[in-house]
Amino acid sequence: MKKTAVYPGTFDPITNGHLDVIRRGAEIFDSLIVLVAIRKEKHTLFNLEERLELVKCATKDIPNVQVATLDKLLVEYLKENKIRFVLRGLRAVSDFDYEFQMALTNSTLYPEMETVFVMSSGKYIFLSSSLVREIASYKGDVSGFVPGCVIKKLKKKVIR
């Protein structure tokens, strides 16, 4: 039986840490769908179309990865698409608290689902999209933190 998982996130922008989790998830599952979330409560630097484009660009060399939009509750997407597995990356203890709460809530809404946690590689344990945005806003070098296609877009969108 083919095992498909989703990896949801805002990806504003996608980082090398996200890519690390995606690559490792793609080795675990037969198919991995990266879900770019519409988060109305978040004021994203990149709009949805730009974030989709960046995730597609960053993952184009991983054959079993697809990219889609998440515009509803994650459990509703899972049910509609008959998917049971959610992939999540963990960086630190603070991530675990939030992710544990989300996993328990989601499994209450959809008992058939399973959340699979992957620890970040050591070199990405500190990395976040918000940190990348901050560094880029001061024209700092983010080349070690994001894929090349993201660097080009960040330079065009520098905040300060």
Catalytic residue among 51, 91, 133, 153: 91
Q: Of all helices (H) and strands (E), which one includes residue 31?
A: strand 31-37
Q: Which residue out of 3, 42, 123, 155 is catalytically annotated?
A: 42
Is 128 a known active-site residue?
no
Query: By three-state DSSP, how is residue 22 classified?
Result: helix
Choose, from 51, 88, 120, 129, the residue flagged as catalytic.
129
- Say whether 139 is catalytic: no
18, 51, 133, 153: the active-site residue: 18
Active site residue 129: yes
43 is annotated as an active-site residue? no
* Burial annotation 29-62 (CB, 10 A radius, 16+ → b, else e): bebbbbbbbeeeeeebbbebebbbbbbbbbbeeb
Which residues are catalytic, by number?
A: 18, 42, 91, 129
